[in-house]
């Protein structure tokens, strides 16, 4: 009998990853259901993952299109075949085509989507599975499309707001490097004839010599440093330490904490609105948090909820959630309106993020211009002061 690798969640929401032997995939799914496990992904052992990653917006558009087709009365299999004939994104079209083939062979939509984890994230599969079980698949797909659109909008606003300072920083660094490589060395022969040089001039000449005379060593050192950072960044302990200390940076730390909390709130609220049990929803949101500090806090929250406590207490202990956010979550839990409260909270936090980013940009732009101007003035004075001293001696 063939072996299957599967990822599932038990009744408490805990993620289970294992390999099992079964006569067919349908038999394995029946066995998992008998054990109280909700499968997220099932694949033949050793099978390659089909398809590559696709963008958030194309995936959101496909969910929206599928929802509209189902609302119009188009059968699921026919709607999936239509998505599989799409031309704008071949990888996504191929995935939908393979999902349609699996549906035609008798599988459920969520199980078929779980075969493509690089395209359909666990949170998508869980929401679709809940929609299938509750017979409200079309609104679930519409909400999923909205969730992806809102996440893409938040990411786009953050990246767009940071683009101008980044370009300004790169241009300033390029001007400084070009000056040290092409402009400063032309004065080297002149300065070699002088008996003494100011400290600023010696620093400038040393930096220029390092860039022009030891460029290979600098490139090797930079590559080694980059490789070391990449290796360390893959270690969970290092990532948690960096994230924890970054959160303490004035202004930037609270900003990125708010982004993580907004993402979590929208994710958890959407999952709960679509009928996902609390423990399973917290675990899925934890997997999609993208922040090690928040992920650890959600682990503690999951244990607390499993023991009958409220969600707000362990979240408050993480330090990522402000007092007003914790109060809103606590009120939502008491009033049994937590899903809608979390979605509205995400909207509020995203508005705060936009205002904070706008304020930071207004402060960063003149500050960066002053820093670049200061560096250029330093280079100018380091070159001119020795000439002025020489002319005064003559």
Q: In what order do the strands lie in the sheet with 15-21?
A: 15-21, 3-9, 38-44
Mean pLDDT value across residues 283-302: 77
| Continuous segment of H or E residues that includes residue 26 | helix 25-34
Task: Give percent of the chain with pLDDT exceeding 70.
Answer: 92
- Cβ atoms of residues 191 and 387 within 8 Å: no
**What CA–CA distance (Å, rounded) separates 208 from 202?**
10
pLDDT given for residue 11 in this prediction = 67
β-bridge mates for residue 15, sequence order: 9
Q: Is residue 65 part of a domain?
A: no
Q: Are residues 261 and 385 in the same domain?
A: yes
Q: Is residue 116 part of a domain?
A: no
Using alpha carbons, list the distances in angstroms from residue 301 to 115, 120, 186, 295: 30, 26, 63, 10
pLDDT of 47 over the 50 cut: no
pLDDT given for residue 305 in this prediction = 82
Q: Is residue 299 part of a domain?
A: yes
Collapsing DSSP to helix, strand or coil, 368 comes out as helix
Mean pLDDT of the chain: 81
Q: Are residues 158 and 282 in the same domain?
A: yes
The token pair at 171 is 């241009």
- In tens, the pLDDT along 135-191 reads 788 888 888 888 888 878 878 877 887 788 888 888 888 888 888 888 888 887 777
- Cβ atoms of residues 364 and 166 within 8 Å: no
Q: How confident is the model at residue 68 (pLDDT cuts 50, 70, 90)?
A: very high
Residue 213 burial (C-beta neighbours within 10 Å; 0-12, 13-18, 19+) = exposed
Q: Are residues 38 and 177 in the same domain?
A: no
Beta-strand relationship, 38-44 and 15-21: unpaired
197-201, 225-229, 353-357 — which one is most confidently predicted on average?
225-229
Q: Are residues 394 and 265 in the same domain?
A: yes
Q: Is residue 128 part of a domain?
A: no
Q: Are residues 221 and 342 in the same domain?
A: yes
1-5, 36-40, 92-96, 384-388 — which one is most confidently predicted on average?
92-96
- In tens, the pLDDT along 209-228 reads 888 877 788 888 888 998 88
Residue scoring higher pLDDT (389 or 91) = 91
β-bridge mates for residue 3, sequence order: 21
Exposure of 228 in the CB half-sphere (CA atoms within 13 A) = 6
Residue closest to 109 by CA, chosen among 88, 147, 137, 146? 137
Task: Give percent of the chain with pLDDT exceeding 90.
Answer: 3
Q: How many domains in the chain?
A: 2
- Cβ atoms of residues 120 and 50 within 8 Å: no
At which residue do the structure tokens 């009120």 appear?
Answer: 331
Q: What b-and-e string marks burial along 167-201, b requiring 16 or more CB atoms within 10 Å of the CB?
A: ebeeebeeebeebbeeebeebeeebeeeeebeeeb
CATH number, residue 171: 1.20.81.30
Residue closest to 53 by CA, chosen among 119, 98, 148? 119
Q: Are residues 35 and 171 in the same domain?
A: no
- In tens, the pLDDT along 265-282 reads 888 888 888 777 888 788
Q: What is the DSSP letter of 181?
A: I
pLDDT given for residue 96 in this prediction = 92
pLDDT given for residue 49 in this prediction = 46
Q: Is residue 134 part of a domain?
A: no
Q: How confident is the model at residue 50 (pLDDT cuts 50, 70, 90)?
A: very low
pLDDT given for residue 203 in this prediction = 86
Q: Is residue 209 part of a domain?
A: yes
**Separation of CA 257 from chain center:** 13
- Cβ atoms of residues 281 and 272 within 8 Å: yes
Question: Length of the chain, please?
Answer: 394
Q: Is residue 105 part of a domain?
A: no
pLDDT given for residue 65 in this prediction = 92
Residue scoring higher pLDDT (78 or 322) = 78
DSSP 6-42: EEEE-TT--EEEEEEE-SSHHHHHHHHHHTT-EEEEE
Q: Is residue 41 part of a domain?
A: yes
Question: 259 is in which domain, residue-wise?
Answer: 147-394
């Amino acid at each position: 009998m063939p072996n299957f690798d599967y990822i599932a969640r038990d009744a408490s929401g805990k993620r289970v990853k294992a390999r099992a032997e079964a006569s067919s995939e349908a038999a394995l799914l029946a066995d998992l259901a008998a054990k109280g496990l909700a499968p997220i992904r099932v694949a033949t052992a050793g099978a390659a993952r089909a398809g590559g990653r696709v963008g958030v917006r194309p995936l959101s558009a496909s969910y929206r299109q599928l929802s509209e087709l189902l609302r119009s009365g188009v059968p699921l299999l026919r709607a999936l075949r239509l998505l599989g004939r799409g031309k704008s994104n071949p990888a996504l079209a191929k995935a939908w085509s393979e999902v349609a083939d699996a549906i035609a062979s008798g599988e459920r939509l969520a199980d078929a989507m779980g075969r493509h984890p690089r395209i359909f994230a666990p949170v998508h599969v869980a929401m679709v599975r809940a929609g299938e079980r509750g017979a409200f698949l079309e609104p679930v797909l519409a909400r999923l499309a909205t969730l992806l659109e809102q996440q893409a909008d938040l990411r786009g606003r953050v990246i767009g707001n940071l683009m101008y300072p980044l370009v300004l920083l790169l241009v300033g660094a390029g001007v400084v490097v070009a000056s040290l490589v092409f402009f400063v060395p032309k004065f080297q022969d002149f300065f070699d004839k002088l008996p003494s040089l100011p400290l600023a001039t010696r620093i400038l000449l040393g930096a220029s010599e390092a860039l022009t005379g030891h460029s290979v060593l600098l490139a090797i050192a930079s590559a080694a440093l980059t490789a070391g950072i990449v290796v360390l960044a893959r270690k969970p302990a290092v990532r948690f330490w960096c994230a924890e200390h970054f959160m303490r940076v004035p202004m930037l730390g609270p900003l990125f904490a708010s982004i993580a909390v907004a993402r979590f709130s929208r994710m958890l609220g959407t999952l709960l609105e679509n009928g996902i049990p609390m423990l399973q929803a917290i675990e899925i949101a934890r997997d999609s948090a993208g922040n090690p500090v928040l992920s650890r806090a959600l682990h503690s929250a999951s244990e607390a909820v499993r023991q009958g406590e409220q969600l707000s207490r362990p979240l408050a202990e993480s330090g990522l959630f402000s007092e007003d956010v914790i109060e809103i979550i606590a009120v939502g839990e008491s009033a049994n309106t937590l899903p809608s409260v979390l979605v509205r909270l995400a909207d509020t936090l995203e508005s705060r993020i936009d205002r904070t980013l706008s304020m930071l940009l207004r402060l960063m732009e003149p500050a960066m211009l002053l820093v670049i101007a200061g560096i250029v003035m330093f280079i100018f004075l380091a070159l001119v002061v020795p000439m002025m001293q020489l002319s005064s001696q003559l």
